[in-house]
A = this chain, B = another copy of it.
Amino acid sequence: MWKPDRSTRKPIYQQITDYMERRISFGEFPPGSVLPSERKLANLLGVNRSTVVLAYEELRASGIVESAQGSGTRVTKHKWGLTPKQTPNWKTYVEGGTFLPNLPFIRRIREELRKKTGIIDFASGELSNDLFPADTIRSLLQEHPFLGQLGYEDPQGYRPLRQTLVSFLEEHLQIQSTDASILITSGSQQSLYLITQCLLSPNDAVAIEDPSYSYSLPMFQSAGLRLFRLPVDEHGINPEDIITLYRQHRIRMIFLNPNFQNPTGSIMATERRIRLLEIASELGIPIVEDDPFTLTALDGNPPPTLKSLDKTGNVLYIGSLSKIAASGLRIGWLLAPQTVVDRLTDARQQMDFGLSTIPQWIAEQFISEGHFENHLKTLRRELEKKRNEMVRGLQTIMGDYMSYTLPQGGLNLWCKINREVDDFKLLDEAIKRGVLFVPGSVYGSDQGHIRISFARPHFDEILPGLSYLKEALDIHCK
């Protein structure tokens, strides 16, 4: 959403005048329609009401709007020589479309972060800027000339990167693959998107974890899937639940994040994995293993992936550099049977013609030149420090407000709040005090949990953030 730019010399009220004028001329507010009240617009833009009053006065002065008796400010009827029917009714377009919008609280959190007010961010499940391998990437860029070609890249992905990933997957995760069975994507998010668009049809039943990764929910809903939930406990989902779901709903696919699950952090128990693979293979159901976190295992001893145990080829494996290197590179991969890779490649070519060569080339260099090993060591050490700091804070600051299980990897802590809370209201209080987190109900789970990221805030922000959160809880629970 547009916000006034506080870094330029143009006065804010003037920026708002121009902005509203543009919206009017673009037909968002057709002639005769009523503008948002001054108070409402001020709220939306995060400015004082008096600033909006000034802006509306400007618009009135230039004859674009007029005061409407008792009903605020209205777009002048014959300004621009427009009649209402002359511009497209954008509202009906924006509200149409098969693609559903994000959940409102996700938009809310994103808005807060975009304001750049210095709010402490326990909400984003990503690394802090100091943990990205920025120096390495900078020197890669400066020391190695880019000799690749600049035409349309193979939509399946830059082949040297796919070849490097074959060794990477084998070495780090004991996963066998070939470059022909790997598709490079713009992160796990795009992998999930391609799978839902190309392999599933509206009304298909699929099983997902409860709670589960929040950004995938609207995407699944946009695809018209029927979602059935597999409760996650400390040891992951219970595979026997799948049999029941299959009998009742003929589920066609299972989406799991077995290692350091988002949001709970739990690791699926080995016996459960084995049983899960047996069941999936018996019923012929594909499992999508969404695996962004395995290599964050703090002790350097990652649990096995499902894919490495998969003998029947039931597992579509999804990985990404986002959580172990840099989310801004937008590099992910999908390992699947040849026919599936071919199908998804063909579709993604229609959606965006494939990824830019350059980040793929950077990723290839970064992984293949041994930078990765060192980076991973540092990353684990720093993540462990931060996790410990957050746990220390929870113990010293939070009293008995929260319980949690100590995560052994991943980027988040999943906390149960030992009080009655409305997690959205709690978020409001927390934002007022300068800290963001993700309400648990976002993940589809019951009220009473929150997810806080220890990876995203700077080390020094962890304790202050927890104090603000404690204040918010005090207010909310009193």
A331: B residues at CB distance < 8 A: 356
Residue in A90, A91, A186, A218 whose Cβ sees the most chain B Cβ within 10 Å: A90
Q: Does A477 contact B (CB under 8 A)?
A: no
* Cβ of A187 to closest chain B Cβ, rounded Å: 6
Bound Cα distance A286, B312 (Å):
51
Structural contact, A350 and B90, CB atoms closer than 8 A: no
Check: A353 CB closer than 8 A to any chain B CB: yes
Q: Which of B94, B198, B355 contacts A99 (CB 8 A)?
A: B198
Known contacts A347-B101, A358-B359; is-contact A180 B19 (Cβ 8 Å): yes
Residues of B within 8 A of A102 (CB): 346, 349-350
Q: Which residues of B contact A284 (CB under 8 A)?
A: 85-89
Residues in B with CB closer than 8 Å to A187 are: 352-353
Q: Is there an interface contact between B313 and A25, defined as CB atoms closer than 8 Å?
A: yes
A65 within 8 Å of B (CB atoms): no
On whether the beta carbons of B145 and A132 are closer than 8 Å, the reply is no
Q: Is A271 an interface residue (CB 8 A)?
A: no
Instruction: Give the interface centre of A145, A152, A314, A342 by most chain B CB atoms within 10 Å.
Output: A152
Q: Which residues of B contact A28 (CB under 8 A)?
A: 337-339
Cβ–Cβ contact A350 & B189, under 8 A: yes
Q: How far apart are A323's CB and chain B's nearest CB, in angstroms? A: 11
User: How far does the alpha carbon of A243 sit from the alpha carbon of B423 in the complex, in Å?
Assistant: 53
Residue A129 at the chain B interface, CB threshold 8 Å: yes
Residues 121-157 of chain A, each 1 if its beta carbon lies under 8 Å from chain B, else 0: 0001011010011100110011101101111111000
Indicate if the CB atoms of B346 and A330 lie closer than 8 Å. Answer: no
* Residues on the B chain within 8 Å of A138, using CB: 145-146
Chain B residue numbers with a CB within 8 Å of A350 are: 99, 102, 189, 193, 215, 218-219, 222
Q: Which of B27, B96, B181 contacts A199 (CB 8 A)?
A: B96
Contacts of A352 in B (CB 8 A): 185-187, 189-190, 193, 330, 352
Q: Nearest chain-B residue to A143 (Cβ)?
A: B142
In the assembled complex, the Cα of A82 lies from the Cα of B137 at a distance in Å of 46
Q: Provided the pairs A28-B338, A356-B328 are in contact, do residues A99 and B197 lie with their beta carbons within 8 angstroms? A: yes
Q: Which one of A19, A97, A347, A352 has the highest number of Cβ atoms from chain B below 10 Å of its Cβ?
A: A352
Given A154-B114, A198-B99, do A285 and B126 touch, yes or no (CB 8 Å)? no
- The reply to whether the CB of A237 lies closer than 8 angstroms to some CB of chain B is no
A93's nearest neighbour on chain B, judged by CB, is: B199
Do the beta carbons of A153 and B328 come within 8 Å of each other? yes
Residues of chain B within 8 A (CB-CB) of A114 are: 154
Near B by CB (< 8 A), chain A positions 10-37 give 18-19, 22-23, 25-28
Chain A 301-356 residues near chain B, CB threshold 8 A: 311-314, 322, 326-331, 337-340, 342-343, 346-347, 349-356
Q: How far is the CB of A380 from chain B (nearest CB, A)?
A: 18
User: Counting CB contacts under 8 A, is A223 at the interface?
Assistant: yes
**Among the listed B23, B342, B353, which residue makes an inter-chain contact with A337, where contact means beta carbons less than 8 Å apart?**
B23
A151 and B219 within 8 A (CB): no
A281 interface residue per 8 A CB criterion: yes
The listed residue (B133, B202, B328, B354) touching A357 by CB distance below 8 A is: B328
Supply 12 further A-B pairs (C-beta < 8 A) apart from A138-B146, A355-B356.
Answer: A80-B311, A86-B281, A86-B282, A87-B284, A87-B314, A90-B286, A93-B199, A134-B146, A137-B150, A142-B143, A190-B352, A359-B359
Q: Please name 14 pairs of A and B residues whose Cβ atoms are closer than 8 Å in the assembled complex, sorted by A.
A: A26-B181, A80-B312, A82-B312, A88-B313, A93-B199, A94-B339, A98-B202, A129-B150, A141-B141, A151-B328, A193-B350, A352-B352, A358-B362, A359-B359
